[in-house]
Amino acid sequence: MVDPLTVRTRTDDVAATGATEHESPTIRVMTTGHELDESEQIAPGASGPAPQMDFAADQVVFELDQLSCFYGSFRAVRDISLKVPKNQITALIGPSGCGKSTLLRSFNRMNDLIDSARIEGRILYHGVDLYENGVDAVEVRRRIGMVFQKPNPFPKSIYDNVAFGPRVAGFRGNMDELVEQSLRRAAIWDEVKDKLKTPGTALSGGQQQRLCIARAIAVEPDVILMDEPCSALDPIATLKIEELMRELKENYTIVIVTHNMQQAARASDVTAFLTMGEDRAGYLVEMAPTQELFTRPINRLTEDYITGRFG
Ligand SMILES: Nc1ncnc2c1ncn2[C@@H]1O[C@H](COP(=O)(O)OP(=O)(O)OP(=O)(O)O)[C@@H](O)[C@H]1O
Ligand SMILES: [Mg+2]
């Protein structure tokens, strides 16, 4: 199996894999067979496709093809094409208002709940067009769970918070086991095992967020989307969630929106940087393995953003 993150199409890397450039299984830069010279590498607003990544077909969970998101006549996200790899943590970063949350919500059809929202282009999920007629949006949201910025436990017991989703989905197995397993996977079991009947809202913010992650896991999703899951948490709770994310990626694909550069750099495997044009529509500037994007960004807009000169 090809490791999606270690094979890149710098010409020499391609030679090392034994593949011809044409056959290369992954693409970091849309190369044309020559190394980019300085002026091409740092080219704000350069036309052409954003530098991004490709992965072996069986490692692709989402494939966005020219995705645009609208609220009424306002285009919030413009022509984004990218692939999200399986069992990896993909970070979406970019200035406020560039459409990160909009994009994330399009991954599980959460935007359907907003009357004026619609998309153009396509999102393939394991090769299936998520917006095709006949696709069940409720099932989509079961498979592709979401954790929000502000922890939002239901006003129910800790146990019932976790059991709620499986009950609605008609789960017939051993609920006690499922609740325990979900809380364990969310790294909160030891803190709550003696008070499962107390309200979820009585927990600390960091605990509530892990409870929400347990709730998301309980319905056995494939993907977990996280929209700034740590922005309401202190640094210790934040590190706990990051550690948890690294454990969870063994079993799940994670896409996280974060404003915290250190968090993106620490916790994610690949990073997509978005910014917005004069029309305020967000677009993809570049996507790369996280370490590479933070140390060797190709586009000056990315460099300005990650070094704090912009945004
Ligand atoms: N429900 C909505 N109706 C109309 N416009 C919206 C709606 N939600 C978001 N927008 C607009 O879409 C654009 C993108 O918003 P979005 O919330 O996706 O940005 P973001 O990158 O997540 O920002 P932040 O970092 O501040 O969370 C903004 O111009 C915003 O005003
Ligand atoms: Mg947002």
pLDDT digits (tens, 9 = 90+) for 57-80: 999 999 999 999 999 999 999 999
CB of 97 sitting under 6 A from ligand 1: yes
Distance 105 CA to ligand 2 centre (A): 10
**CB count, 10 Å around CB of 115?**
8
- The response to whether residue 71 sits with its C-beta less than 6 Å from ligand 1 reads yes
Query: What one-character-per-residue DSSP string does 137-189 give?
Result: HHHHHHHEEEE-SS----SSBHHHHHHHHHHHTT--S-HHHHHHHHHHHTT-H
Among 22-26, 38-42, 50-54, top mean pLDDT goes to 50-54
Amino acid at 12: D
Q: Kindly list the domain boundaries of the chain, sorted by start residue.
A: 49-306
What is the Cα–Cα distance from 43 to 292, expressed in whole angstroms? 17
Q: Is the CB of 258 under 6 A from ligand 1?
A: no
CA 130 remoteness from chain centre? 16
Ligand 1 nearest-atom number relative to CA 105: 18
Widest Cα–Cα separation across the chain: 63
Which residue has the CA at smallest separation from atom 29 of ligand 1? 97
Q: Which residue's CA is the nearest one to ligand 1's atom 3?
A: 71
Q: Could you tell me if the CB of 98 is within 6 A of ligand 1?
A: yes
Q: Are 93 and 264 in contact (CB under 8 A)?
A: yes
What pLDDT is attached to residue 133? 92
- Of residues 97 and 28, more confidently modeled: 97
pTM of the model: 0.85
CATH level 2 (architecture), domain 49-306: 3-Layer(aba) Sandwich (3.40)
Distance CA 231, CA 181 (A): 26
What was the pLDDT predicted at 18? 34
Q: Is the pLDDT of residue 290 over 60?
A: yes
Contact 114 CB / ligand 1 (< 6 Å) = yes
Note the pLDDT of residue 123: 98
Q: Which two tokens stand for residue 266?
A: 């620490």
How far is ligand 2, taken at its centre, from the CA of residue 103, in Å? 9
Per-residue pLDDT, 50: 82
Sign of CA dihedral 78, 76, 127, 186: positive
Residue nearest to atom 30 of ligand 1 (CA): 97
* Cα four-point dihedral sign 203, 209, 210, 215: positive
Nearest by Cα to 212 from 291, 123, 151: 151
CA–CA separation, 5 and 10 (whole Å)? 13
Name the phi and psi angles at 103, rounded to 5.
Answer: -65, -45
Average pLDDT, the chain: 86
Answer whether 238's CB lies under 8 Å from 217's CB.
no
Residue 310 pLDDT greater than 90, yes or no: no
More confident residue, 19 or 205: 205
Query: pLDDT tens digits, residue range 128-178?
Result: 999 999 999 999 999 999 999 999 999 999 999 999 999 999 999 999 999
CB of 102 closer than 6 A to ligand 1?
A: yes
